[in-house]
Amino acid sequence: TIDDVRRYPFPRGNDPTRFAGLRAGAETLQASDFAVCTGIGGVIYEYGWYLRGLEHWFMDMIENPAFCEAVLDRMLEFWTEYYTGFMAEVGNCVDVVMIGDDLAGQDGPLFRPDFYRSVVKPRQKALVRHIKKLTSAKIWYHTCGGCVEYIPDLIDNGVDILNPVQISAREMNPADLKRRFGDQIVFWGGGIDAQHILPFASPQKVRQQVRENLAVFKPNGGYVFNNVHNIQAGVPAENIVALFDAAYEFGRYQ
């Protein structure tokens, strides 16, 4: 029930033991030539299905949206506390704060966009605003799939960077994404299709796709090269070498 959710003893988001030693590590990284990124947190929506199971959670969304709101309120409460403590330690040392919720699958949104906009989005937006009060770092947001439906919402939420840019999913054509959103959000990903091309194509095809995608995403900035999601087991070593060689050859800003 909703009362059960409100009484549920969630962990303390701002427990100081979570952040012990982080500042020293962040300061060491800050002295390097690399951007300093947090790990992924801020998972508002997905934790609902972690707690309930995916099938039950999707049924909750249809039959009992008020229950979902109560769950997401507790998620927002936890992450608000968490980032208050986290950014107090490292907020002036990090360049990118990574958050995320998978909103889409390969064929588009996982659930009704109107549910997202009425229930999920307000809580995501509140979290982003809270984090931005605590740090000047950019907000990086992860959602797999054909998420083009939600890109304007993420921009409105205050998200600065979208990852992983799953270019093989529905309506995720690189040229269309760059044309529609390239001046409003940074694309971090989309460098190579990790599902079809990287594991199964020739090194020459890998090189070709990297070059083509860089030619689209790279102009005028606003792009961080990354393959679409993790390199999986069984990918030929020569394809990984081709990926990196092409990225270094064609991906540098002068």
pLDDT of residue 3: 94
Q: Is residue 237 part of a domain?
A: yes
Q: Is residue 148 part of a domain?
A: no
pLDDT of residue 28: 93
Q: Which residues pair with 140 in a beta bridge?
A: 98, 161
Q: For the chain, how many structural domains are there in total?
A: 2
Q: Are 21 and 96 in the same domain?
A: yes
Q: Are 89 and 15 in the same domain?
A: yes
What gap in Å lies between CA 207 and CA 13, rounded to an integer?
A: 44
pLDDT of residue 254: 77
Q: Is residue 25 part of a domain?
A: yes
pLDDT of residue 82: 98
Q: Are 168 and 211 in the same domain?
A: yes
Q: Are 185 and 159 in contact (CB under 8 A)?
A: yes
Q: Are 103 and 186 in the same domain?
A: no
What gap in Å lies between CA 141 and CA 106, rounded to an integer?
A: 18
pLDDT of residue 229: 86
Q: Are 37 and 104 in contact (CB under 8 A)?
A: no
Low-confidence spans in the chain with pLDDT less than 70 = none
Q: If phi over 0 gives left and psi between -120 and 50 gives alpha, with beta otherwise, what is residue 216?
A: alpha
Q: Is residue 118 part of a domain?
A: yes
Length of the chain: 254
Q: Are 171 and 88 in the same domain?
A: no
pTM above 0.85, yes or no: yes
Q: Is residue 154 part of a domain?
A: no
Q: Is residue 147 part of a domain?
A: no
Q: Is residue 144 part of a domain?
A: no
Q: Are 77 and 176 in the same domain?
A: no
Q: Is residue 184 part of a domain?
A: yes
**Segment 181-220, tens digit of pLDDT:** 999 999 999 999 999 999 999 999 999 999 999 999 999 9
Q: Are 7 and 83 in the same domain?
A: yes
pLDDT of residue 109: 97
Q: Are 17 and 106 in the same domain?
A: yes
pLDDT of residue 40: 94
Q: Are 134 and 197 in the same domain?
A: no
Q: Are 123 and 23 in the same domain?
A: yes
Q: Are 118 and 42 in the same domain?
A: yes
Range of the domain at 29: 1-138
Q: Are 174 and 131 in the same domain?
A: no
